[in-house]
Structure 1
Amino acid sequence: MHRLTLLFLIGFSTTINAQRFKDVTITTEKLTEHIYMLKGAGGNVGVSAGEDGVFVIDDQFAELTDKILAVIKDISDKPIHYVVNTHWHGDHTGGNTNMTHQGVKIIAHDNVRKRLEETPKRDNTMRSKEALPVITFNDKLSVYMNGEQVYIFHVAHAHTDGDSLLYFTKSNVLHTGDTYFQGWYPYIDLNSGGSVNGYIAAVKKGLSLINNDTIIIPGHGNISNKKEYTTYLNMLETLKTTILSEIKKGQTEEQVATNSELTKTFDDLGYSWNFINSEKIRRTFYKSLK
Structure 2
Amino acid sequence: MRSYFKATFGLALLATTSLGLSACSQSIAQEADRFAAVEIKAQPLGDGIAVLFGAGGNIGVSYGPDGTVLIDDQFAPLTPKIQVAIADLGAEPVAYLINTHWHGDHSGGNENFGKAGALIMAHDHVRERMLGIQKSGRGNDPASPAEALPTITYHDGLKLHLNGDEVHIKHMKHAHTDGDSIVFWKKANVLHMGDLYFNKMSLPFIDLKSGGNVRGVLAAAEQALTMVDDETQIIPGHGPMATKADLAAYRDMLVTVIAAVEKAQGEGKSLTDVQAMKPVQQWDINPKAFIKGDAFVEAVYRSLQKPVHAHDERQ
**TM-score, normalised with respect to structure 1:** 0.91
Bigger Rg over Cα: 2
**C-alpha contact 1:272 1:278 (8 A) present in aligned 2:** no
In 1, Cα distance between the equivalents of 2:151 and 2:245? 36
Q: Which of these residues, 149, 163, 180, is aligned with residue 132 of structure 1?
A: 149
| 2:61 alignment partner, SS class | strand
Q: Which of these residues, 291, 295, 302, is aligned with residue 276 of structure 1?
A: 291
* 1:19 Cα deviation from its structure 2 partner: 2.0
* 1:76 Cα deviation from its structure 2 partner: 2.4
Q: Which of these residues, 169, 173, 191, is aligned with residue 186 of structure 2?
A: 169
Q: Which of these residues, 218, 232, 247, is aligned with residue 265 of structure 2?
A: 247
1:207 aligns with 2:225: yes
**C-alpha contact 1:87 1:112 (8 A) present in aligned 2:** yes
Aligned to 2:173: 156
Question: Higher RCO, 1 or 2 (CA under 8 Å, sep at least 6)?
Answer: 1
| 1:220 alignment partner, SS class | coil
| 1:266 alignment partner, SS class | coil
Aligned to 1:4: none
**C-alpha contact 1:38 1:46 (8 A) present in aligned 2:** yes
* 1:89 Cα deviation from its structure 2 partner: 0.2
In 2, Cα distance between the equivalents of 1:37 and 1:278? 29
Aligned length: 275
C-alpha distance 178-16 of structure 1, shift in aligned 2 (>3 A): farther
* 1:69 Cα deviation from its structure 2 partner: 0.4
| 2:102 alignment partner, SS class | coil
Aligned to 2:310: none
In 2, Cα distance between the equivalents of 1:231 and 1:30? 25
Q: Which of these residues, 83, 93, 96, is aligned with residue 79 of structure 1?
A: 93
C-alpha distance 151-222 of structure 1, shift in aligned 2 (>3 A): same
**C-alpha contact 2:173 2:179 (8 A) present in aligned 1:** yes
1:59 aligns with 2:69: no
**C-alpha contact 1:37 1:217 (8 A) present in aligned 2:** yes
Aligned to 2:164: 147
In 1, Cα distance between the equivalents of 2:283 and 2:141? 38
In 1, Cα distance between the equivalents of 2:304 and 2:277? 17
**C-alpha contact 2:59 2:74 (8 A) present in aligned 1:** yes
| 2:63 alignment partner, SS class | strand
**C-alpha contact 2:64 2:91 (8 A) present in aligned 1:** no
Indicate the larger mover: 231-240 or 111-120.
Answer: 111-120
Structure 2 residue runs without a partner (length 5+) = 1-26, 306-315
Aligned to 2:21: none
C-alpha distance 236-124 of structure 1, shift in aligned 2 (>3 A): closer
**TM-score, normalised with respect to structure 2:** 0.84
**C-alpha contact 2:233 2:241 (8 A) present in aligned 1:** yes
**C-alpha contact 2:214 2:303 (8 A) present in aligned 1:** yes
**C-alpha contact 1:83 1:104 (8 A) present in aligned 2:** yes
In 2, Cα distance between the equivalents of 1:54 and 1:115? 26
1:113 aligns with 2:127: yes
In 2, Cα distance between the equivalents of 1:206 and 1:189? 20
In 2, Cα distance between the equivalents of 1:123 and 1:251? 32
Aligned to 1:266: 283
Aligned to 2:304: 289
C-alpha distance 160-124 of structure 1, shift in aligned 2 (>3 A): closer
Paired-residue identity, %: 43
In 2, Cα distance between the equivalents of 1:168 and 1:258? 42
* 1:120 Cα deviation from its structure 2 partner: 4.6
Aligned amino acid, residue 144 of structure 1: H
**C-alpha contact 1:14 1:123 (8 A) present in aligned 2:** no
In 2, Cα distance between the equivalents of 1:205 and 1:14? 42
Indicate the larger mover: 143-152 or 248-257.
Answer: 248-257
1:68 aligns with 2:82: yes
Cα distance per residue 1:113-168 (max 9 Å; x no partner): 00011125868642211110001000010111110110001000010000000000
Aligned amino acid, residue 87 of structure 2: K
